Amino acid sequence: MKNIKNIFFSIASIITLLATQPTMAMLMANFELYNKSNKAIRVNLDGEESTVSSMRTVSATYPNKQKNISLTIYPDVSSNKNVKKFTINTQAETIFVSWNPAKAPFLYPQTGPLLGLLGVTKSGWTLNPQKNVKQAEIRPMR
């Protein structure tokens, strides 16, 4: 009787694990923008707008492998001046980028804390430079 209970518990555990795997995959972000500027910015990512405080991130999930993303950054949350527009066209698994208007280019692939030695983004997502977007795939629009 005890063996039957253990077998039933094992089968139920496996079914639960298999049922939650697709859900867990959908929860994993494959886009993250880290705002390294000293003030909040407004971000429009394929029509979805949000405000990102200084030294904070915004994340999103793209289900398809081929990504062609339109990204607009408003350096001043209350103004439409100095707007920066980008197109990101990539087949990379992740698009983890940083925004820093004090650097050139303003938008660039994330390296992660401690120059990438930890292998994660600021938010803790796994960061693999070989699977992340490349600088050449981030194109400023005029």
Q: 4 lies in a domain?
A: no
At residue 20, the 3 state secondary structure works out as: helix
Alpha-carbon gap, residue 62 to 67, rounded angstroms: 8
- Greatest C-alpha distance within the chain: 73
Over residues 131-135, the mean pLDDT reads: 95
Q: What are 14-48's pLDDT values in tens digits?
A: 665 555 444 444 457 899 999 999 999 999 998 99
Q: What are 97-115's pLDDT values in tens digits?
A: 999 999 999 999 999 988 8
At residue 56, the 3 state secondary structure works out as: coil
Check which CATH number belongs to the domain holding 68 and give it. Answer: 2.60.40
In this prediction, residue 1 carries a pLDDT of: 62
Over residues 118-122, the mean pLDDT reads: 90
Q: 110 lies in a domain?
A: yes
In this prediction, residue 17 carries a pLDDT of: 53
As a whole number, the mean pLDDT across the chain is 86
Q: 14 lies in a domain?
A: no
Number of structural domains in the chain? 1
Q: 132 lies in a domain?
A: yes
Q: 24 lies in a domain?
A: no
In this prediction, residue 5 carries a pLDDT of: 67
Q: 22 lies in a domain?
A: no
The whole domain housing 93 covers 29-141
Q: 89 lies in a domain?
A: yes
Q: 106 lies in a domain?
A: yes
Q: What are 40-96's pLDDT values in tens digits?
A: 999 999 899 999 999 999 999 887 777 889 999 999 999 999 999 999 999 999 999
- Residue 3: is its pLDDT beyond 90? no
In this prediction, residue 64 carries a pLDDT of: 73
**119 contact partners, CB below 8 Å, separation of at least 6:** 112, 126, 127, 128
Beta-bridge partners for 88: 69, 138
Find where tokens 């120059």 sit.
115
H helix intervals, the chain: 2-27
- Amino acid (1-letter code) at residue 47: G
In this prediction, residue 26 carries a pLDDT of: 44
In this prediction, residue 77 carries a pLDDT of: 94
